[in-house]
Amino acid sequence: MSVDTSKVASSNGTNAATTTTKSSRLGALASWSDERLGLAAMGKKNLRKIFPDHWSFMLGEIALWSFVVLLLSGVFLTLWFKPSMSEISYQGSYAPLRGVEMSDAYASALHISFEVRGGLLMRQMHHWAAMLFISAMMIHLLRVFFTGAHRKPRELNWVIGSLLLLLGTLEGFTGYSLPDDLLSGTGVRAADGFMKSIPIVGTYISFFLFGGEFPGDSIIPRLYVIHVLLIPGLLLALIAAHMLLLVYHKHTQWPGPGRSETNVVGFPMLPVYAAKAGGFFFITFGVSALMGGILSINPVWKFGPYDPTKVTAGSQPDWYMGWPDGALRIMPGWESHFWGSTWSWNIFLPVIVLPGLLFTVLLLLPFLEAWITGDKREHHLLQRPRNAPTRTATMVALMTLYACFWLAGGNDLIATKLHSSINNITYALRALVFVAPCVAFWVTRRWCISLQRHDNETLLHGYETGIIMRSPEGGYSERHLPLSEAQAYTLTVRDRGRVGEEDELKPNGRPTLRSRIRTLYFDDDVQKPTIQELEEARAHAEHEAHAVATLEGHSADGHQFDGHHLTEDEPLRGED
């Protein structure tokens, strides 16, 4: 690539800096460490590693940096938090609770909130960063799936990412349970009920986790170790693996001129990407600080200490636990009793089986897709969602299912806000979780197909200019202009239908299950035009351009020709 650097400002050369041979201190330090660590071999390859640029590649970064914010603010909180359920009588500065019996854990959460300077800020930053962490992971996951970045060779990184989402959710639950306030205690109470619903072993799991009967005095210290050691350790290890695989595979990129499956176009790690990513860490951290400063979250002092005989109306978990809670709310109260045992389908199915099932589906999505399409190639160019209509529709259906369950998690709020019957809302949601995903699937798929058709239209007949032409006969038409070479190229970088090896027919002469699913998967896709169609369209456009060339240099809207203006040198609008 030749670049004219003559115009570049003096300080901003693109030439590599001359290697320093003088024995500067930095050089001495570099050789000292290289003689012991051999870093130069790695630095040579990675310091100028290329990362492609696109706003959507930043979503995963939000997750990564909010995790760092969680580590930092979390360490601060551990300096004061006491993970103990010993009963004490509160004597701190918050008058409404003075003299109230509470656990050490709750009292220390109050102490952090009221007496430790910056403690409330760190508590709120920690909670907000957790929200950012989980929502960023979810949106990042959607971006990856909608653009086909989960395809070979990145399937394992998809699996790691999904595990991160699961662990992040558990980390969130164990975290907000720690202050031992009334709201989180109610959540732990419900979790005890979930465990007990597991056939055969449920009671044992509950008794082992709680150190005997609920609530006991072991759950907070145990959740604490899980929250500050076990899960963060796993998260760190998996994040490291996620990043290593990202570096090894190199990032995906959008197709475009000069961007192919075999290259990666973008900016070098040092300096541009390091600066942008590093700067973005400060922005994520700063936004968390602003949120912690001005947006109240989880005001535990308002809820009071946990008491197994009390509850707040409208008890709701943090939003990311809302969907299993919703499934639990709309599940019919099915319970079977036989041979002296109780089978709580009403709890076991929605909060144990369903999340497990949906998570398994999530993990398997890349493998299911590869099995259906039979595509064994590597993919480094991203796809627009419209160019994989069935895939896009599948994820939208899953999102809709999630949304319905999540709405169900607020069925009481919907009822009170809309002044409607909670019974009817619940019945409607029961139907909606089955109907809405199907509708969403169908609408999305057709929508994508329409967009594919639209792409073909613009490829063949050019884009709409907004200029209305009037023919000498009085007919009106909109003027279309051909796409630029680069745009046309970008639009045509996509596969033409079924790419994988086709299965042979079964002995009975019928197609295999896989090939029937594959037909459904690709069936209605609109294929990009052939080169002949493109050339014909181009010839037609030239012919048309010739026909309107006589009008060139005249105004198109005709208002100037009202007899009050000189029209001799009027330029055609949009042709400046």
Partner 1 sequence: MSEVHDGSHEIEAHTDALLPDPGLPEHTWRPTDVDPKAEKRAERQVATLFGLSALCTVLFVVSYVTIRTGVNGPTILGWGASNVTLGLTLGGALLFIGIGVIQWARKLMADVEMVELRHPASSSEEDRSMTVAALQAGLEESGIGRRPLIRNTLIGSVALLGVPAVVMLKDLGPTNKDVTESAPYPGAGLEHTVWRSQMRVVRDVVGTPIRPGDLEIGDLVNAEPEIIFGKNKGVPVPEDQVLEGADLQIAKSKAATVLLRMDPDDIVNDVTRNWSVNGIVAYSKICTHVGCPISLNERTTHHLLCPCHQSTFDLADGGKVIFGPAGRHLPQLPLTVDDEGFLVAQGDYPEPVGPSYWERNTYSLEQVAKNYATKTGEETGQ
Cis peptide before 271 (omega within 30 of 0): yes
Task: Pick the closer one to partner 1 by CB: 307 or 570.
Answer: 307
Give min distance, CB of 472 to partner 1, in A: 35
Nearby residues of 47 by Cβ (< 8 Å), 6 or more positions away: 268, 269, 270
Q: How far is the CB of 251 from partner 1 (least distance, A)?
A: 10
- State the nearest-atom distance from the C-beta of 545 to partner 1, in Å: 20
What is the CB neighbour count within 10 angstroms for residue 394? 22
- Which lies closer to partner 1 via its Cβ, residue 237 or residue 283? 283
**What does the alpha-carbon distance between residue 31 and residue 25 come to, in Å, rounded to a whole number?**
10
| Minimum distance, C-beta of residue 495 to partner 1, in the bound complex (Å) | 6
Closest CB to partner 1 among 337 and 546?
Answer: 337
* Distance of closest approach, residue 61 Cβ to partner 1, in angstroms: 12
* Rounded Cα distance, 92 and 37, in Å: 52
- Cβ proximity to partner 1: between 356 and 553 the closer is 356
For partner 1, give the closer residue by CB, 289 or 396: 289
Tokens of 115: 């007496």
Residue closer to partner 1 (CB basis): 194 or 323: 194
Cβ proximity to partner 1: between 215 and 556 the closer is 215
Return the number of the residue (162 or 186) whose C-beta is nearest partner 1. Answer: 186
Q: Which bin fits 466, alpha (ψ -120 to 50), beta or left (φ > 0)?
A: left
CB 74 within 8 A of CB 81: no
56-90 residues labelled b (16+ CB within 10 A) or e (exposed): bbbbbbbbbbbbebbeebbebbeeebbbbbeeeeb
Cα-based distances in Å from 479 to 19, 461, 476, 509, 567: 57, 10, 10, 52, 21
In the bound state with partner 1, the residue whose beta carbon lies nearer, of 378 and 557, is 378
- Reported in sequence order, the residue ranges of 75-179 that DSSP labels E, i.e. its strands, are 87-89, 101-103
Residue 19 dihedral angles phi and psi, to the nearest 5° = -65, 130
Quote the tokens at residue 196: 């007990």
| DSSP secondary structure of 513-530 | HHHHHHHHHHTTPPPPPP
Rounded to a whole number of angstroms, the minimum distance from the CB of residue 316 to partner 1 is 9
Residue 256, classed as helix, strand or coil, is strand
We find the least distance from the C-beta atom of residue 336 to partner 1, in angstroms, to be: 9
Phi-psi region of 216 (alpha: psi -120 to 50; beta: other; left: phi over 0): left
Any residues with CB less than 8 A from the CB of 547 and at least 6 apart, and which? none
Q: Minimal CA–CA distance to 427: which of 408, 451, 406, 401?
A: 408
Cα angle for residues 46, 47, 51 (degrees, 5° grid): 75
Scanning the structure block, which residue is given the tokens 């989180």?
184
In the complex, minimum distance from the CB of residue 262 to partner 1, in angstroms, rounded to a whole number = 5
Q: How far is the CB of 471 from partner 1 (least distance, A)?
A: 32
* Residue 104 C-beta: closest distance to partner 1, Å: 12
Q: Which is nearer to partner 1, 216 or 232 (CB)?
A: 216
Closer to partner 1 by CB, 231 or 287: give it: 287
